[in-house]
Amino acid sequence: MYKIWTYITDPIGNNEFSYSERIALWSIGESPASLGKIFVPSLIKWSLDDLEWGSEIVFEEVENGKLMSCTWLKHFVQLEYEWIPVYIVDNHNHALSFRYQHRLFVWSFERLVVFHIDQHTDTKPNSNICPPLSKEGWSEGQEDLETFVNEKTNVGNFITAAMNSWIINEVIQVRSDYALHNLQLETFNLQPFILDIDVDFREDKEITPEEIQIIRELIKKAKLVTIATSPYFMDQKRAIEIIKAILQ
């Protein structure tokens, strides 16, 4: 999965946001090499030490007439925490790829819940359905899945696509301090779940030791963890600090 990096050059997926306005702003004296495209990193299997800053634009928007070009790390990172697989991505929709992979190989016949810690629901309308894949055809099908995620989903609607495609069965939204602090953690022993964290849930607040402990306990109960740093929505230096505080 994500064996090589790529660019999204058409106005699709995360590159669709304010595309025409971005092109107009870019045309004013900026480098044509960066015109209207965003970068999708490759995946490496290593450790938190590999959260290395990159120079490629991975998300771009227009805010009050100003072009906001956001960079992230050189690579997506796959690691383990307490023997639980963890995937760290930039734009949140890429988490869908790893959910599909683990659904296909690990939980094919089980009801699967996503526990979603985020300031956004990520459930805007999206009528697209993921391509059907099989274990036998996985080697060839990975490219189709990555193309689907890059072109048919974005950071605001990828959960809807996952629900449409029966990759997940239910989403539990945690979007407030109250919800996070009042979780009944014992209830999460009842069925397989994915813990999905967007670090922009702490965009304007410090993460407390109590919250770190709550999240660590959830990780220990999860079958899979996906973490998004959300360029544009979150300062990326601070995002890395929060991830390291949770996982170290």
Report yes or no on 21 lying in a domain.
no
Q: Is the pLDDT of residue 29 over 60?
A: no
| Mean per-residue pLDDT, 55-76 | 92
Phi and psi for 39 in degrees, rounded to 5? Answer: -100, 140
Give 188's DSSP letter. Answer: G
Classify strands 66-73 and 75-81 as parallel, antiparallel or unpaired.
unpaired
The rounded percent of the chain whose pLDDT value lies above 70 is: 95
Among candidate residues 50, 57, 101, the one with its CA nearest the CA of residue 223: 101
Report yes or no on 112 lying in a domain.
yes
| Mean per-residue pLDDT, 35-61 | 89
Q: What is the pTM of this model?
A: 0.94
Please report, in angstroms and rounded to a whole number, the separation of the first and last CA atoms in the chain.
25
Q: pLDDT category, 32, cuts 50, 70, 90?
A: low
Residue, of 152 and 105, whose pLDDT is higher: 152
Report yes or no on 54 lying in a domain.
no
Q: pLDDT category, 27, cuts 50, 70, 90?
A: low
Report yes or no on 71 lying in a domain.
no
112 forms beta bridges with: none
Tens digits of residue pLDDT in 156-198:
999 999 999 999 999 999 999 899 988 877 777 767 899 999 9
Domain count, the chain: 1
Report yes or no on 204 lying in a domain.
yes
| Mean per-residue pLDDT, 32-40 | 81
Q: What pLDDT is recorded for position 98?
A: 95
Residue 183: domain span? 76-247
Report yes or no on 109 lying in a domain.
yes
Cα separations (Å) of 80 from 73, 87, 224? 19, 8, 10
Report yes or no on 190 lying in a domain.
yes
Report yes or no on 64 lying in a domain.
no
